[in-house]
Structure 1
């Protein structure tokens, strides 16, 4: 191929759509989709608000990961600071900045986009943007967020990028934003961060 690979928006006609379950965060829907020559198929999928994650890098080049319990998989996973896009009208970059402050007590002066991806395109429409945050500074003590639920037991760790990449490639780290973010950071650093998009780059894949 001579042209670059590019995912395109090309939805198929939805003949009927049903709400099967209205959840606290996301809903379960069933759609009858017209695939043309292949006929009409029924697809059940989760309608998701989307999310952001941040790979924070300190002056020594270390990456911040947080150990957090995830009930569906029954594991404590090492993850970057992250959160849902569940505040109406909030820009993705502002959401990432808020989550970094709330979960890691950190602010960053320099922001770029590392990667955009769909977490499970065969089963939900969650779009997730992974940011790179650098030039870090602590949130003042009197402005720090009071953590609740699973966030109360989060354990932070600063690890070298090499250690994080090794953890991904050896199958020791499984959170998707960790996998995508760490490998994207390694590729970006190898190219001198020249091809990264700005933190406020357009994100058409995000659900309206």
Structure 2
């Protein structure tokens, strides 16, 4: 809170502290890497630089695909780091150079679900964990759903073991609220869609 009890502007803002040096902790041929930056607090040149780990990630998309019965397409997928099978929405990494988020969302819906949509509505964006990464997720709602061929896409590893199905939107929102669904980005996408009046529940 600012002087006199006045709040700063209620919005995130761009800001960048000086980086004295950087060192890779892990980097290979994949799109994600881990480095350590040493920062200098602005206006305090006498302070000792301090280290912060940074997970480099290109970002991702999440799709709330809704059919004409107000059901949402869901995936049940195993996630090894959490040792859980999560109820999720179709999603994917922005791993194609120059591809915008909507194009990625369209591609991922085809690849993961075998679906395409005629109506696309941006829901919003969020930073996954800004204490360690600049990764952003872009959320979309898709309607006008039809089945399509996956275009030669072959699921591997955890994706090859996914279960899929259509779930009434009202049931999904209830499962988010009572804690049965805990994948953060699926929760954000569904609650944002509901808050914007894009889901009829």
Please tell me the TM-score bracket, short chain as reference: 0.7 to 0.9
Partner of 1:164: 172
Hey, what does 1:13 align to over in structure 2?
A: 18
Larger Rg: 2
Match of 2:154 in 1: 146
Give the C-alpha shift of residue 36 in structure 1.
2.8
Distance 1:191 1:28, change over 3 A: closer
Structure 1's unaligned 5+ residue stretches are 193-208
Aligned length: 191
Specify every segment of 5 or more residues in structure 2 that has no aligned partner in the other structure, as ranges.
1-5
Q: Give the 3-state SS of the residue equivalent to 1:135 in structure 2.
A: strand
Q: Which of residues 54, 79, 88 is equivalent to 1:79?
A: 88
Within 1, Cα distance between the matches of 2:9 and 2:197?
22
Q: Secondary structure at the match of 2:68?
A: coil
Q: Say if 2:22 and 2:37, in contact at 8 Å, map to a contact too.
A: yes
Residue 178 of structure 1, aligned match among 180, 183, 186:
186
Cross-structure match for 1:205: none
Deviations, residues 44-93 of structure 1 (Å, cap 9, x unaligned) = 12111111111101111111110011010011001111111111111111
Pick closer, same or farther for the CA change 1:160–1:148 going to 2, 3 Å. Answer: same
TM-score norm. by structure 1 comes to 0.85
Given the alignment, which residue of 109, 124, 146 partners 1:115?
124
From 27, 40, 45, the equivalent of 1:34 is 40
SS of structure 1 residue aligned to 2:182:
coil
SS at match of 1:150: helix
1:95 aligns with 2:104: yes
Alignment of 1:52-67 (within 5 A): 52-67=61-76
Paired residue secondary structure (1:36): coil
Deviation at 1:153, TM superposition (A): 1.4
